[in-house]
Amino acid sequence: MTQQVTLRPLISRERITARVSEIGQRITQDFAGEPVMLLGVLKGAAIFLADLARHITLDTSFDFIAVSSYGNQQQPSGEVRLVKDVDESLEGKNVILVEDILDTGLTLTYLRNLLLARRPKRLKIAVLLDKTPRRLQPVAVDYVGFEIPDEFVVGYGMDFAERYRNLQDICILELASEAV
Ligand code: IMP
Ligand code: MG
């Protein structure tokens, strides 16, 4: 048996660019005149953060965190482990948590609570994609790129087994097992 992978385009690079630019402008307005720290969740949000940052015309810094979730895609456990913490203190700062996908909501709920305990001045959340039908835990997010259906997607930073992060368009990944 080999696994046949099919990639079906869902969101084009042009639509991504236009939407990321709009979010950057909104952030620029919402934090007018104040510095912001973009806090990316590795690795999936790295490309979104890099593009978003260039549409924000404020004094902007970056930091990154990495988490690993127990369980799997079908059965998330809700238990999240912090693999890499921030380098800088968040206290008194305007922090925008930048994440690729809001799926069950378990990861962002964990991160939100963790980061609020560090006493930022403001904490906002920006997600590129929102899979609303999959939500197990409600999370209030401030900036959303696109609502998407319950499909597994790759590209623009998002992976399947570490592959496809470099695709410029966001694609639905379909796996079919084939007897050979
Ligand atoms: P959750 O909201 O805690 O379920 O987890 C969201 C995380 O799961 C995201 O940050 C992604 O890393 C991963 N994830 C969820 N759906 C997808 C997908 O369709 N493609 C790639 N990664 C996904
Ligand atoms: Mg992620």
Mean pLDDT (the chain, rounded)? 94
The string of DSSP letters for the chain reads -EEEEEEEEEE-HHHHHHHHHHHHHHHHHHTTTS-EEEEEEETTTHHHHHHHHTT--S-EEEEEEEEEEEE-SSSEEEEEEEEE--SS--TT-EEEEEEEEESSSHHHHHHHHHHHTT--SEEEEEEEEE-GGG-SS----SEEEEE--S--EEBTTB-BTTBSTT-SSEEEEEEEEE--
What structural domains and CATH numbers belong to the chain?
12-149 (3.40.50.2020)
Q: What is the pLDDT of residue 76?
A: 66
The per-residue pLDDT for range 24-53, each reduced to its tens digit, is 999 999 999 999 999 999 999 999 999 999
Reported as a pLDDT band with limits 50, 70 and 90, residue 167 is: very high
Question: 55-64, 75-84, 135-144 — which is least confidently predicted?
Answer: 75-84
Whether the pLDDT of residue 75 is over 70: the answer is no
Q: Which residue has the tokens 């998407």?
A: 148
Q: Please identify, by atom number, the ligand 1 atom nearest to the C-alpha of residue 106.
A: 3
pTM of this structure: 0.94
Name the residue of 77, 99, 101 whose CB sits within 8 Å of the most ligand 1 atoms, as the mutation to test its pocket: 101
Tokens standing for residue 78: 């809700």
Catalytic, out of 103, 142, 159, 169: 103
Q: How far apart are CA 128 and CA 17, in angstroms?
A: 11
Tokens standing for residue 145: 């790129």
Q: Please identify, by atom number, the ligand 1 atom nearest to the C-alpha of residue 102.
A: 2
Q: What is the pLDDT of residue 74?
A: 60
Name the residue of 43, 104, 158 whose CB sits within 8 Å of the most ligand 1 atoms, as the mutation to test its pocket: 158
Q: How far apart are CA 164 and CA 162, in angstroms?
A: 7
Reported as a pLDDT band with limits 50, 70 and 90, residue 177 is: confident
Q: What is the pLDDT of residue 38?
A: 98
Question: Which has the higher per-residue pLDDT, 68 or 179?
Answer: 68
Q: How far apart are CA 56 and CA 15, in angstroms?
A: 18
Q: How far apart are CA 98 and CA 89, in angstroms?
A: 17
Reported as a pLDDT band with limits 50, 70 and 90, residue 2 is: confident
Q: Is 103 a catalytic residue?
A: yes
Tokens standing for residue 156: 């623009």
Whether the pLDDT of residue 174 is over 80: the answer is yes
Whether the pLDDT of residue 180 is over 70: the answer is no
